[in-house]
Amino acid sequence: MKYRFEIILLLVMIFSACGDNQNKSHKSTESKKIISIPQFDADSAFQFVKHQVDFGPRVPNTTEHSACAQYLYGKLEVYCDTAMIQSFKTRAFDGTILHAKNIIGSFNPENYNRVLLCAHWDSRPFADYDPDPANHRKPILGANDGASGVGVLLEVARQLQSQSPPVGIDIVLFDAEDYGPPQDTQRDTEMDYWGLGSQYWSANPHVPGYFAKYGILLDMVGASDARFYMEGFSLYYAPGVLKKVWNTAHRIGYENYFYFEEGGYIDDDHKYINEIINIPTIDIIHMDKESANSSFFEYWHTVKDNMDVIDKTTLNVVGQTLLTVIFEEQ
């Protein structure tokens, strides 16, 4: 009997070990699960930028602005699970009442774990940094300053339609971001006249009680040889998110675009998102430390911010980084 017991005990130990090995193998397989990340299409993103610019300047209260709003809403309506236009009125620096529209699309709206992606879609009514003073009161096309970020997000949305993300995604295209006073009349007390669309959405989100794990803002992400420094408010409010995105960009080969160097503090849409709705949000924005007139790309707020400045390589760098961050999200 003792001999038989030892045999039975040996068999139990063998089968138990096999079970443990199977469990370990299963866990190992799970931990090494290959993540399928869509490939960003820069040609498609370029066309999305061009379609916006073809409308002309997208300044609130103009027919071009209204037409482009319908175009953007139509695209998000096709690509996203849900889409809407958040219409609102706001007062500009000169007292003008702006009829503005934030355009919003969502994926997996039932998923509590969410990521916010955003950009502004309006263009500036004043080319106030143009070298020719005669252009200072002319509106700009805003190919890079506005349309590039939106173009990247529309292509991201198109990819997410084909391959559902592992988390909920909200794409918010802010209006009236660039309707601040001309540079020759600005005062520090007037800074809140920028980012009017993000201020409104942050105080009145499209979903009551809305919250996202973090947010990523795109601004001026289409020019050749763009440099994305670590913007000040991003470092202050969302350092972990910033480092996560920058690390991802470096890991997939874009270290020549994303610099682990501090940039300046930019009063962009993400500032209001951080301060009003308390979603840790970063700004991927082209800054130029060697610029003579501003801290941004060469044709910022000039009549030359047109399709000639848009580089598909830069669009791809930003778009592929975003898709990688999204699909690696747990």
Q: Is 84 helix (H, G, I), strand (E, B) or coil?
A: strand
Q: What share of the chain is helix, strand, coil (3-state, %, to 5)?
A: 45, 15, 40
Helix (H) or strand (E) holding 26: helix 2-31
Determine the pLDDT at residue 14.
41
Domain positions in the chain: 41-327
Which of 3.40.50.880, 3.40.50.300, 2.40.30.10, 3.40.630.10 is the CATH number of 41-327? 3.40.630.10
Phi, psi of 161, rounded to the nearest 5 degrees: -65, -35
Query: Tell me, what's the pLDDT at 204?
Result: 98
The pLDDT score that the predictor gives to residue 254 is: 98
pLDDT value of residue 222:
98
Count of all residues that appear for the chain in the document = 330
Q: What is the pLDDT along the chain (330 residues), one digit of tens a residue?
A: 333 434 444 444 444 444 454 454 444 444 456 889 999 999 999 999 999 999 999 999 999 999 999 999 999 999 999 999 999 999 999 999 999 999 999 999 999 999 999 999 999 999 999 999 999 999 999 999 999 999 999 999 999 999 999 999 999 999 999 999 998 875 655 568 999 999 999 999 999 999 999 999 999 999 999 999 999 999 999 999 999 999 999 999 999 999 999 999 999 999 999 999 999 999 999 998 776 666 899 999 999 999 999 999 999 999 999 999 999 997
The pTM (predicted TM-score) of the whole model is 0.89
